[in-house]
Structure 1
Amino acid sequence: MTLRDRISSWTFVLGGATALLGANLLPLVGVVALGWSLWSLLVVYWVEAFSTVVLAAVKTLFAERGSPGLSGQIEPLHELREKRGGWKVREEWPPIYPRNVPFALSMLGVWSVTVLPLSVLYWLSAAPPTVVSLDLILGLGALVVAQVVDFVFEYIGTEEYTEVSAQEIVRTPAQLTVMLLSLGLFAAGDRTGGLLILVGVVLAKTAASLYRFYVEHLGTPLLGLGDRLVDDEDLSEPPPELDPPESEVQARVAVSATSVLLGSIWSIAFGFANRLGLGVLALTGLAIISREPLWITAGLFAIGVIVVARVLSYLFRYGTIEYQRRGDTLVAYDTLLDAPQWVVTVGPFTEFSVKNAIADRLLGTGTLTISGVESVDRDDVQLGPVTDIDRVVDTLDLPVRETERPERDPAVIGAASVLMLCFVAVPVGLFFTSRVSDAMAGALTIVFGPFLLLPVGVLLWAALSRI
């Protein structure tokens, strides 16, 4: 019997459905026999949704198949999506794939900046009469244990991770979050809830869980519900790992770690170009306006975490690469993951160009851009930064004739600097005028500052690129 037959067998499906049914109907015992209120159910389902999000984030790390990506969005640490290969924590465990980290952070980020703070504010303002009791704690533990057992024995034990992508796993937490918010609004309108209403909530939640389990394991939506609730877009691709050429390594070149580190500073801005980053900036801005030291410290700490994560992610993306010449092919090989990242055939029609990177201009290093690489989804890849670009061209025997960057242009540097100072002078001037209070100046800077960052960033790049 194949793995797919074993997973889809009626014995396995019925066993999993029975465990799921028992875990979901447990709150019904609390409602009927123990007198749970609607607020108690809300606590139970909030913990279940939170544990589902955390476990789903862990699941995404092991998902073997590729993910097309979130259209129109920049995932946190998005450059890790380009990584090939995985890393095993223990030999008997499946590998963790760095390319799935952005999806895990996306799920956790949505909860961190939306559901979690809204839940805290909602709970503080509503002041629900929830009593923590032993039966409530046991109910919470049963739901969490059921999910952990499902993760260990089904997802890992039956190697389900080999048949799903990280993007597919995102669906379940999103659906549970919608259900949780709907239940929260319902609880706000009825703080006590009659027995019939409470039983109906539990049965509706149980039916939704069973239907999701049925669709995931049998893949046959009933009455076309799957077409309405699930997007038709394919969220899974074949694993993106590459097989290295059979030729032996003839030459190899390492990257310049100093140049990679300096280049990571420019990439920090992308750490805030997503929901998590923007949410942290917004919450930090509100904390500054409120002048609460504790909240300001928490906001600055969160910003620091994002900055450090961006730098480490960039170093992991480019700083562990070794460029190898194997016969007529050039391979970017990750020495930490022990896996090739891209492979390109070197010939007279291979297009090389010099990248005008700011870090290279400041440190005298060099980076090449290679176009038309078929082993990756992007239009081009980069070779470098390396300490001596001319020596690398000779060592790897590359058909590159010109390695010079654009010459230094003082006129461009001066014009960009003057325009940049003009943009910066607007918010700074608010703090020196007597017509605007410091609090108002700070609020205006926080609200309109992000809109000024784009032109200032572009001008700064223009000046540094011709230094």
Structure 2
Amino acid sequence: MRRSIDRGRAVRATLSNAVPLFGVAALGWPAGVLLVVYWIEGGVALLRGALQASFARQEPEYGVIPGAVPGKALDDKRGGVSVGPLPPIYPRNARAVFAAASVLLIFWPVGAGVVAAATVDTTVPVGPVSLAVVGVVFGHAVGLVEYLRSEQYASVSVRSALFGRSSVGVLVVGVGVVGLLSAASAPSAVLLVVVSIKFVADLSIGDHEETSDDPTEWDDDSSEVETPDGPPTATFRADRRSLLARAAGFGPLYLLVPPYLFGAIGAVGVGLLAGLGAGLLALGAAVVVTAVAVAVRTDVEVGHLEYRVYRDRIVAYDTLLDASQWALKRRTIEDATVASSVVDSIRPGTRTVVVSTFGDDRRLRALERPEAFVESVTTDR
């Protein structure tokens, strides 16, 4: 496998660096042109990292995801879902991928400003630069395919997959160093040294920090969520349609709090720059995108849960991820009630069930047949 990984790394490095090397050595590219290529490669590398992180099997490190990123409940989701021949995608990595995508959205326009300032007096050769960009895209595509084919995802964490050495290298060496050289009007010989160093680094340095430990047991059922042998005495499901309707209905309210608030701020900015009509269209788009995002997040978090009642415990099983999420021993249940809310009359679906266990409450939202569930878990314990 190591020989295959090295060959794939060589192909990726050659595709990504061949045209910049030729451009500097033979065509005399200035730093500004090189900066354009590396700016684009930085975005491609971050996008590749976000895709790779979705498949990372190792348990996420503590503190890898900022608390402001929405969807904290996804961090505790067990199991993954496979799409076609691809390996499982793990919802627990979703917040880290979202954070990386946010970095990309910030990096791209900021980097564009730096590139624009560096190329004010530079003629950018569209043909060669386009060829270099094609090489960059294909090079990182080769890296992504090799990452999946050689099962590198099994031994990397989400942090390593997101911020691989290639991403850090192109941002630091490519954008950072070349940006400084552009401001200093460095000669071609110096640029050639920088491009050569990047090429050699891409060839010789592995992209990820792989652990020597066995893959995490994150996906294996522990004693806390072990499903008993035999069929459950009763099974109750979340009303998925009601959950999605609630999420979509409350979605616009999320625009009042970060990070969704930035969508509303962006719409205001569009309105100030392009007029009231464009601002209203942008606000409408922000509302739709937010509602869809909240609905998708809710669906993954709780939309596929079914609650299996056994003689001695309750198991929350996710049918999408095909894994037990949590379990409660029935003897620890102090109370189970159907909670009331002032919005029950207008909110779609059934009410929430609250299961209390020695000071800890679990809220089972939009549960089908809530009264029957309460009776099932509170009798014959």
For Structure 1 versus Structure 2, the TM-score category normalised by the shorter chain is 0.7 to 0.9
CA distance in 1 between partners of 2:35 and 2:316 (Å): 51
* 1:67/1:237 contact within 8 Å kept: no
**RMSD over equivalenced CA pairs, Å:** 3.6
Query: What's 1:367 paired with?
Result: 353
1:118 alignment partner in structure 2: 110
Deviation at 1:299, TM superposition (A): 5.6
Query: C-alpha displacement at 1:273, in angstroms?
Result: 5.3
Map 1:308-323; keep pairs closer than 5 Å.
Answer: 308-323=292-307
Would the alpha carbon gap of residues 218 and 73 (structure 1) be closer, same or farther in structure 2, given more than 3 Å must change? closer
Figure out how many residues of one structure are paired with residues of the other and give that number.
366
Q: 1:165 aligns with which of 149, 152, 157?
A: 157
Q: Partner of 1:247 in structure 2?
A: 230
How far off its partner does 1:268 sit? 6.1
Distance 1:184 1:382, change over 3 A: farther
Residue 49 (structure 2) pairs with residue 59 (structure 1):
no
Structure 2 counterpart of 1:225: none
Counterpart of 1:311 in 2: which secondary structure? helix
| Map 1:29-48 → 2, pairs under 5 A | 29-48=22-41
The aligned amino acid for 1:308 is V
Distance 2:308 2:145 in 1: 40
Q: Distance in 1 between matches of 2:219 and 2:297?
A: 19
Provide the residue aligned with 1:339 in structure 2: 323
Letter matched to residue 170 of structure 1: L
Matched residue of 2:366: which SS? strand
Q: Give the share of equivalent positions with the same residue, in percent.
A: 24
Q: Distance in 2 between matches of 1:168 and 1:214?
A: 9
2:375 to 388, 394, 404: 394
Given that 2:16 and 2:135 are in contact with CA atoms closer than 8 Å, whether structure 1 keeps it comes out as no
- Secondary structure of 1:343 counterpart: strand
TM score, norm. by length of structure 2:
0.79
Task: Indicate how the Cα distance of structure 1 residues 205 and 130 shifts in structure 2: closer, same or farther if over 3 A, else same.
Answer: farther
C-alpha deviation, 1:324, in angstroms:
0.8
After superposition, residues 7-46 of structure 1 pair within 5 angstroms as 7=2, 11-12=3-4, 14-16=6-8, 18-19=10-11, 21-23=13-15, 25-26=17-18, 27-46=20-39
Q: What is the CA deviation profile of residues 23-56 of structure 1, one whole-angstrom value per residue up to 9, with x for unaligned ones?
A: 4542222211122221221122122222212222
Could you tell me whether the CA contact under 8 Å between 1:73 and 1:274 is conserved in 2?
no
**Greater relative contact order: 1 or 2 (C-alpha under 8 angstroms, separation 6 or more)?**
2
Q: Which runs of 5+ in 2 are unaligned?
A: none
Match in the other structure for 1:131: 124
Aligned partners of 1:81 and 1:99 also within 8 Å: yes
Superposition pairs for residues 50-89 of structure 1, below 5 Å?
50-68=43-61, 69-70=63-64, 72-89=66-83
Question: What is residue 195 of structure 2 aligned with on the other side?
Answer: 202
Is residue 34–residue 178 contact of structure 2 (8 Å, CA) maintained in 1? Answer: no
- Deviation of 1:147 after TM superposition, in Å, equals 1.8
Task: State the Cα distance separating 1:86 from its structure 2 match.
Answer: 2.1
